[in-house]
Copies of this chain bind each other. A is one copy, B any other.
Amino acid sequence: MSAIRPLPTPVSLADRRRGAAGTAYAWLRAEILSGRMRPAQSLSENEVAQHLGVSRTPVREAIIRLESEGLLTVRPQVGTEVAPIDVDAVADGQFVREALECRTVAMAAKAVTPADAAELRGMLDEQGRVAALGDHAAFVPLDDAMHQKLVAMAGRPQVWHAVEDVKAQLDRVRFLSLEDPAWLATIHRQHEDIVVRVIAGDAEGAAAAMSRHLRNVFASIETIAQSHPEYFRSASTSPEGGRTRQDP
C-alpha cells in the first residue's frame, strides 16, 4: 500500500534533491507558504511522518531546516507549530529586498544585452497572459523568475540567495492577498516599467521603478496584516530580537 504521492504541490525541484527528507521539506514548506497550514497551527513529527508514510527522522530534518528559516517554531518537549507572521520580520524582509534589488537592477540596466532584453520581454508577455487569466498560482513563479533574472543580470547571482531567505516571510503574506484580480495586472504593469528602463540602460530610473514596485507590494501587505490580525505577531518590543520566543 505505498502511495507516497510524490509532489501534489509545486515546489522547487532543487529542494527535493534528497529522498524522504527532501520530500518532507518541500511538502511542509509548500503547506506553510501557501497558507494551507496557518500560523500557530500545531503539528508533530509523528503526525507528519504518518501522513507522508515515512519515519520521524526525515521529517525531523525538514523541521530543523524550516525552523532555521523562521517558518516553524519548535518548543522542546511540547510541540512544533507554524510560526506566526512577524510583522517586523516582514517589514525588514521588504527592506532587504529593496536595498538589494534596487542596487542590482541599476547594475542590470548598465549591463543589459540584447539577449537579456529579449528574455525579459518574453517573461513580460507570459506574465501578461497569465495575469489576464487571473491565474495567481501560475503568476508567482513568473514573478520570482523575473526578479531573479534581474539579479543575475547584475552579475551577482548569489545575491538571490539572500533575497530568497527573506522572501519566504513575504510570500506567506502574498498568498493571503491573492484575491484581487486587478492586482496581477498592476504588478505586470510595474514590471513593465522596470524592464523598459533596464533595456533603455536607465539605471536610476530602473532603481526608482523597482523601489516603487516593492513599496507598492509592501503597502498591500500592510493592508492584509490589518485584515488578518490573527495570523500576525506584533512583537513591537523585541530588545534582543531572537527568532525564538514563547508566549503564553
Contacts and interface: CB of A to CB of B under 8 A. Distances in A.
A49 interface: no
A212 B87 CA distance: 33
A12 B158 contact: no
A6 interface: no
Contact of A64 (B65, B159, B246): B65
B17 A95 contact: no
B246 A92 contact: no
User: 10 shortest A-B CB distances, which residue pairs?
Assistant: A92-B158, A157-B241, A157-B246, A14-B244, A99-B99, A96-B162, A99-B103, A92-B156, A92-B159, A99-B100
A3 B57 CA distance: 28
A145 B243 CA distance: 17
Given A157-B246, A158-B241, A161-B243, 20 more contacts: A12-B244, A14-B242, A14-B243, A17-B244, A61-B64, A64-B65, A65-B68, A86-B158, A88-B157, A91-B156, A92-B157, A92-B159, A95-B103, A95-B156, A96-B162, A148-B246, A149-B248, A152-B241, A152-B246, A161-B244
A73 to B, nearest CB: 13
A60 B162 CA distance: 25
6 contacts: A14-B243, A14-B244, A60-B61, A88-B158, A96-B162, A100-B100
Given A76-B18, A244-B14, A246-B152, A96 B159 contact: yes
A175 interface: no
Interface in A52-67: 60-61, 64-65
